[in-house]
Amino acid sequence: MIPNAVLETINAHRQRYLDDLLDFLRIPSISTYSQNSPDIRNAAEWVLRQLKRLGFHASLRETERHPIIYGEMINDPSAPTLLVYGHYDVQPPEPLEEWTSPPFQPSLREGFVYARGATDDKGQFLTHLKAMEAIMEVEGKLPLNVKLLVEGEEEIASPSLKPYLEKHRLELGADAAVISDGSQFSSGIPAITYGLRGLTYFQVDVTGPRIDLHSGVFGGIVANPIQTVTQILARTKNEDGTIAIPGFYDDVIPLEEWERNEMASLPLDEESLKDYLGVGELTGEKGYSILERKTARPTLDINGIWGGFSGEGAKTVIPSRAGAKVSMRLVPNQKPAHIERLFRDFVMSLTPKDVKIQITTMHSAEPVLIGRDKPGILAAERAIEIGFGKRPVYLREGGSIPVVNWFKETLGIQTILLLGWGSPDDGAHSPNERFRLEDFQRGIRAAAALMYENLI
């Protein structure tokens, strides 16, 4: 249990920690733009200085693009080890004209700090450093071993991270990992994200005639690849919106009673959601709530389709080719490799002989479920109660987070704590991104408390 002195220290240094955050936010470490490479390096070195000041054994690790910072502080090899992940790069700030204050001149207004990176992820990540700073100040050492991994390519899909993890698998070994790069359920309702959907993503290419043909001359004797694509894809769903691929649901673990109760207890304003989406009504699988449908049930979406003439006016063409991108969100315990086999078999079984078809797997990610009974999860629950003064709710998320899969699959870490200190309306990736000063403070407290709880 965290000593009161640490909490008091965090409280006492509120302004100093904030000043450090403002300092960090002033560095325009946009990973997308090559002209910001010097800023990226500045941000990486800023983090490195912070770690060294804390007493970490830390260094910059060069990658093909932006450096990774790795640091460790091993107090007792027999104690549990926590891996803390964060990223120091930020999204491009455009459109600039929509910002009330400049994106890299942090502005304090109405209890928020406004700046690019405020919530994603500089503010959230920094809570862990400031938590350790307070602990070190009071106790002179951390109550467990900590490894820190901070990358500068998260906003460009982390191309260097996976190879880095593979290469440094042993060095990065840990009992649990913590990632604060998300959000609470809503401001004031802290959350632990214990489930993520997986993904499997395909491109389907259909070829009919050798060349584009005139539909007047050849209409009636050749297969039209657009029609084949639409006919196949239309068959992937049943009338009621469920997925018609045989065996698709076989490995789905049904939602447990407590999960459904937890989701049902969360406030969700259907009307304002519809307004935000601009739809007359929501759709989806019968028998499941909105939250269940968007986070804990598998889906199939056609993400793109193309073929033939799409310009203005009319062109009577039977195209040679058509194609589509199709993806499925998977839930525990569906396996992307198995679903791929089912999808391929299903599509092939529907493909007429008069066209050629090619199915390419573009991407896949395993769904994730961190057992609620894992000691690390219970530790996080207690830490959040201390930091936020409130029991966290348990959430699943509809998307996948690649780093979580890589930590599981490459590093073998089973307890991955997704503890978002931000709020869904912080505007990550949008103009006027912000972070609530109170959430920064609560996050530091929770991050510090976590280090004193039993992770294993």
234 to 273, contacts with a copy of itself by CB under 8 A? 234-235, 237, 273
Taking CB under 8 A as the criterion, the residue among 22, 222, 266, 456 binding a copy of itself is 222
Q: Please, what is the minimum distance in Å from the beta carbon of residue 329 to a copy of itself? A: 5
Taking CB under 8 A as the criterion, the residue among 230, 333, 351, 430 binding a copy of itself is 230
Taking CB under 8 A as the criterion, the residue among 185, 194, 201, 440 binding a copy of itself is 201
Q: Which is nearer to a copy of itself, 87 or 297 (CB)?
A: 297
Phi and psi, residue 380, nearest 5°? -65, -40
Cis bond upstream, residue 333 (ω within 30):
yes
Taking CB under 8 A as the criterion, the residue among 35, 95, 140, 211 binding a copy of itself is 211
Spatial strand order in the sheet of 434-436: 107-109, 112-114, 434-436
Cα–Cα distance measured from residue 253 to residue 416, given in angstroms and rounded to the nearest whole number: 20
Q: Please, what is the minimum distance in Å from the beta carbon of residue 296 to a copy of itself? A: 9
Q: Which residues are within 8 A (CB) of 51 and not within 5 positions of it... i.e. 6 or more apart?
A: 58, 69, 71, 129, 148
Verify binding: residue 324, a copy of itself, rule CB under 8 A: yes
Q: What is the DSSP string of 196-220?
A: E-EEEEEEEEEE-SSS-EEHHHHTT
Verify binding: residue 49, a copy of itself, rule CB under 8 A: no
Number of residues interacting with a copy of itself: please give it, by CB under 8 A.
77
The interface region with a copy of itself, picked from 20-28, 129-137, 163-171, 202-210 by CB under 8 A, is: 202-210
Q: Which is nearer to a copy of itself, 240 or 438 (CB)?
A: 240
**How do beta strands 176-179 and 415-418 pair?**
parallel
Q: Please, what is the minimum distance in Å from the beta carbon of residue 7 to a copy of itself? A: 35
Q: Please, what is the minimum distance in Å from the beta carbon of residue 160 to a copy of itself? A: 18
Q: Which is nearer to a copy of itself, 23 or 285 (CB)?
A: 285
Cα–Cα distance measured from residue 172 to residue 63, given in angstroms and rounded to the nearest whole number: 17
Cα–Cα distance measured from residue 411 to residue 165, given in angstroms and rounded to the nearest whole number: 7
Tokens of 267: 């406030």
* Catalytic residue of the set 39, 72, 89, 366: 89
Verify binding: residue 369, a copy of itself, rule CB under 8 A: no
C-alpha dihedral, 403 to 409 to 414 to 418, nearest 10°:
10
Taking CB under 8 A as the criterion, the residue among 141, 315, 341, 390 binding a copy of itself is 315
Contact present, 201 and 144 (Cβ < 8 Å)? no
Cα–Cα distance measured from residue 86 to residue 335, given in angstroms and rounded to the nearest whole number: 28
Q: Which is nearer to a copy of itself, 27 or 196 (CB)?
A: 196
Binding mask 273-312 for a copy of itself (x = CB under 8 A): x--xxxxxxxxxx----x--xxx-x-x-xxxxxxxxxx--
Q: Is 301 part of the annotated catalytic residue set?
A: no
The interface region with a copy of itself, picked from 89-97, 158-166, 247-255, 347-355 by CB under 8 A, is: 347-355
Verify binding: residue 130, a copy of itself, rule CB under 8 A: no
Verify binding: residue 357, a copy of itself, rule CB under 8 A: no
Phi-psi region of 281 (alpha: psi -120 to 50; beta: other; left: phi over 0): beta
Buried b (16+ CB within 10 A) or exposed e, 369-403: ebebebbbbebbbbbbebbbeeebbbbbbbebbeb
Taking CB under 8 A as the criterion, the residue among 199, 263, 395, 403 binding a copy of itself is 199
Q: Which is nearer to a copy of itself, 375 or 424 (CB)?
A: 424
Q: Is 137 part of the annotated catalytic residue set?
A: no
Q: What is the DSSP string of 202-265?
A: EEEEEE-SSS-EEHHHHTTTS--HHHHHHHHHHTTB-TTS-B-STTTTTTPPPPPHHHHHHHHH
* Catalytic residue of the set 151, 153, 154, 181: 154
Q: Which is nearer to a copy of itself, 3 or 308 (CB)?
A: 308
- Restricted to residues 374-433, the positions that interact with a copy of itself (CB under 8 A) are 397-400
Q: Which residues are tagged catalytic?
A: 89, 154
